[in-house]
Amino acid sequence: MTRNILTRSCELCFLVFALSGVAGAQTAVQIDFGVRLGLSNNLFQPNQLCAGAGCVFGTTSFAAERLRGTVGPTAGVLLYDRVEARLEALRRRFAYQIQFDLPPLGQHSVSSTSGHFWEYPLLATYRFSSGPLRPFAGGGLSLGTSGSYTTEIQSTLTQQLPSGPVTTTSVNRRTVNMTSGTAYYLVGGLDGRTSYLSIRPEFRYTRFPNDSDSSAETIFKANQFEFLIGISVHPFRIKR
């Protein structure tokens, strides 16, 4: 799926610039406004899914929804058609499920979690070569991270009574706000640019800090990889 998106984005870049035949404007400063769209892998991984006797006599499984979408606005300043400073506000969605079974006691529970996460990357990139389609690379850090998630736990207990098995079910729901420390980024891709439009397919590596609770059921994955496409306009410029 990611390969198809990359192929189509590159084809679109070549088509736009073949039709326009216009390279990026050679100005001192260009100001960009646009949107970033992407596909990310799951944010979380299992950590301490069980404790005590449950780890010995029970079984636990973890499953996460993959390739969740990323979307958000972006603004940037391009200096002398080479160096760009860019600020983004990206919203990621995530969802995962934990199942626990303890057969000796007839217990079964399903914990379903879904939520969203905001990142605010501040990035600096450098464009190589010249022309309307150019590679770029760079990096940066997050100005902040925040989000929230809701967890619903459905528990089932089956008791063997003389009159026969009796099953009781309970459901608990809670919503939690979440934050994380500073994340760091490495980025690289292609910048296709006409006089007023830019299309940027990009691969991004994110390093999240290891500041999670060691007793938590799930924690952030330290290493995240993502493919994004940026579409922006740059109507404001300062001539040399």
Structure tokens at 71: 């979307």
For residue 94, the one-letter residue type is F
For residue 3, is pLDDT > 60?
no
CATH topology of domain 2-238: Porin (2.40.160)
Strands 68-79 and 29-40: antiparallel
Among residues 70, 29, 17, 19, the alpha carbon closest in space to that of 191 is found at 17
CA distances from 91 to 39, 70, 115, 148, 233 (A): 11, 6, 10, 11, 21
3-state secondary structure of 150: strand
pLDDT tens sequence across 153-212: 998 888 777 777 778 888 899 998 988 788 999 999 999 988 889 999 999 999 988 766
3-state secondary structure of 27: coil
Strands 90-102 and 68-79: antiparallel
In DSSP terms, which residues pair with 60 in a beta bridge?
100
Task: Return the beta strands (E) in 41-106 as ranges.
Answer: 44-46, 59-64, 68-79, 83-88, 90-102
Among residues 239, 206, 236, 230, the alpha carbon closest in space to that of 220 is found at 206
The residue among 145 and 216 whose pLDDT is bigger is: 145
The full set of domain ranges for the chain reads 2-238
* Displacement of CA 140 from its chain's centroid (Å): 16
The residue among 202 and 46 whose pLDDT is bigger is: 202
Question: Is residue 199 within 8 Å of 32, Cβ to Cβ?
Answer: no
pLDDT tens sequence across 100-153: 888 777 888 898 998 898 999 999 999 998 888 999 999 999 998 888 999 999
Which residues have CB under 8 Å from 193's CB, separation 6+?
A: 23, 24, 132, 133, 134, 199
Q: What is the mean pLDDT of the chain?
A: 81
Instruction: Give the pLDDT confidence score for residue 13 in this predicted structure.
Output: 46
Among residues 73, 70, 6, 13, the alpha carbon closest in space to that of 197 is found at 13
Percent of the chain residues topping a pLDDT of 70? 82
Nearest-angstrom CA–CA distance, 37 and 191 = 15
Question: Is residue 208 within 8 Å of 183, Cβ to Cβ?
Answer: yes
DSSP string, 100-122: EEEGGGTEEEEEEEEEEEEEEEE
